[in-house]
Amino acid sequence: MTQIKIFDTTLRDGEQSPGVNLNQLEKLELAKQLERFGVDVMEAGFPASSKGDFEAVKQIAETVKNVSVAGLARAVKSDINACRDALINATNPRLHIFIATSPIHMEYKLKKTPEEVIETAVEMVEYGKQFFDHVEWSAEDASRTDLDFLTKIIEKVIDAGATVINLPDTVGYTMPREYGAMFKYIKENVPNIHKADLSCHCHDDLGMALANSVAAVENGATQVEGTINGIGERAGNASLEEFAVALKIRNDYYPYHTNLVLNEIKRTSDMVSKFTGMTVPGNKAVVGRNAFAHESGIHQDGVLKNAQTYEIITPELVGVHSNNLVLGKHSGRHAFTDKIKQLGYDLPEDKIKEAFKAFKLLTDRKKEVTDEDLFAILTDIQTDTSNVKRYKLDNFQVQYGSNDQPSATVSLSNPNNEKVKDTSTGSGSVEALYNTLDQIILEETHLTDFQLNSIGQGRDALAEVHVSLTVDGKTVSGRGSAQDVLEAAVQAYLNGVNRAIYQKKAI
């Protein structure tokens, strides 16, 4: 069995998904989870892109020790320097340099001749090699690149010291047989290719990202790049959990395996979905809510007789446990602390106290508190940025009648610690609340997206709201969960504004 290395780029390419912006605490928690999941390399960010990204990469490199941590750089010295400084304390750092190689990118974007592109690529790999043993080089838009040119530039960057050659399908254009053939050609025609690992990186614009990744592996790629839940630019990247489970389930067919810990999939997927606000569609392979649901009578009957009739993946394989009923009204602090440890949270004493308080409040309103509820409470508390001055809700009231215009009154404390109260109306209850908040909030705030989901099932399920906002012209996301839909909506809005304040401090 050949081991296929997994290069996770959720924190870089995934974070480039429209509307997604993770704060430093969320990136760190996700990095720790990716380590538990067993990825071989995690691309922690693009250090030259902002001070916040630089700090996040640095913090991750200092914290996560069992995984190689990579930073992305354009083929310019300042980007490489930023990676060098951000990864200074990493145990096993990797520099990832990219430059476009397709005719359209070289002519219109880079405005360089092919010879100039080769020269820059070689010069930058040599420069990076002074600071890094492991240098990955990516031919951006490789799948639309002339094969002879690709062969030539790859040979030169390997001579310059590149240890991994990545051939991205940047715009999700290629087809499996075609992409596989490119890897085969490179393997057969680049004389020094044995000195480097070959890697694939696929986007899903035509829905081919997973199939293309598998085709690359069939033709010699030993590293697969992708993201959790397949998030990423435009239609996203190849979904790593799908790739890993496909290899596992079809190990009768493929002699490949990954080091991923498959029963960490559900938790990793939930975390990514919660932090990014990108809800996983019910029918998504491997992690969708319906992935293990059998609706038709014929299927249900078959599964009852022998689960394998219609179930090729067991929920347990990916960490989905149906019997997750946990704590209730009478559960004490001890049971609660045990449970959160069991769920993999490592919280300081003050946060455990805060979480226990939130849990107790919830048990007043909800009879059965499930793992999903705890996940919502704990991740919110874990990634809370309350050390920053911020808006804090005191209380609110909404007046709604089916024939009247809704009105809302909100009291909160603002970042100057002043208590403020105001009232406004709207065409619905949420709009009335948001109009009131806009009157109170000092920043110029606009709502651009609003999503409401329930956490778990049942009439008393928690509500979770994700919003996208612009705050003083900057796009941010916010989330809030509460038993009441309107409270979740208010919390999500305030969370977005508070995150904008936090980010302003980090930049």
- Between the two ends of the chain, the Cα-to-Cα distance in Å is 46
Does 201 appear as a known binding residue?
Answer: yes
E strands, 190-348, in order: 197-202, 223-226, 256-257, 325-327
CA distance 190 to 186: 6
The answer to whether 59 contacts ligand KIV (rule: CB under 6 A) is no
The contact pattern for ligand KIV, residues 172-211, with x = CB under 6 A and - = no contact, is -----------------------------x-x--------
Question: What is the 3-class SS of 105-137, one letter each residue?
Answer: HHHHHHCCCHHHHHHHHHHHHHHHHCCCCCEEE
The answer to whether 98 contacts ligand KIV (rule: CB under 6 A) is yes
**Least distance from C-beta 138 to ligand KIV, angstroms?**
4
CB count within 10 Å of CB 133 equals: 11
3-class DSSP state for residue 403?
Answer: coil
The answer to whether 74 contacts ligand KIV (rule: CB under 6 A) is no
Among ligand KIV, Zn ion, none, partner that 140 touches (CB below 5 to 8 angstroms by kind): ligand KIV
**Least distance from C-beta 260 to ligand KIV, angstroms?**
21
The answer to whether 53 contacts ligand KIV (rule: CB under 6 A) is no
**Least distance from C-beta 233 to Zn ion, angstroms?**
6
Does 387 appear as a known binding residue?
Answer: no
DSSP string for residues in 417-428: --EEEEEEE-SS
Mark 241-255 as b/e (b = at least 16 C-beta within 10 Å). Answer: bbbbbbbbeeeeebe
Among residue numbers 7 through 46, which ones bind ligand KIV (CB under 6 A)?
A: 13
Among Zn ion, ligand KIV, none, partner that 227 touches (CB below 5 to 8 angstroms by kind): none
**Least distance from C-beta 463 to Zn ion, angstroms?**
34
The answer to whether 13 contacts Zn ion (rule: CB under 5 A) is yes
Task: Report yes or no: 194 and 220 within 8 Å, Cβ to Cβ.
Answer: no
The answer to whether 170 contacts ligand KIV (rule: CB under 6 A) is yes
Does 203 appear as a known binding residue?
Answer: yes
CA distance 380 to 398: 25
The contact pattern for ligand KIV, residues 130-159, with x = CB under 6 A and - = no contact, is --------x-x-------------------
Task: Report yes or no: 33 and 275 within 8 Å, Cβ to Cβ.
Answer: no
Does 364 appear as a known binding residue?
Answer: no
**Least distance from C-beta 78 to ligand KIV, angstroms?**
17
Phi, psi of 470 (to 5 degrees): -110, 130
Nearer to Zn ion, 13 or 241 (CB): 13
**Least distance from C-beta 201 to ligand KIV, angstroms?**
5
Q: What pairing do the DSSP bridges indicate for beta strands 419-425 and 135-140? A: unpaired
The answer to whether 227 contacts ligand KIV (rule: CB under 6 A) is no
Mark 443-481 as b/e (b = at least 16 C-beta within 10 Å). Answer: bebebeebeeebbbeeeebbbbbbbbbbbeeebbbbbbb
Q: Which residue has the tokens 């986007």?
A: 203
Numbered residues of the known binding site for Mn(2+): 13, 201, 203, 237
Contact set with Zn ion (CB under 5 A): 13
Binding-site residues: 13, 201, 203, 237
**What is the contact surface with ligand KIV in residues (CB under 6 A)?**
13, 98, 138, 140, 168, 170, 201, 203
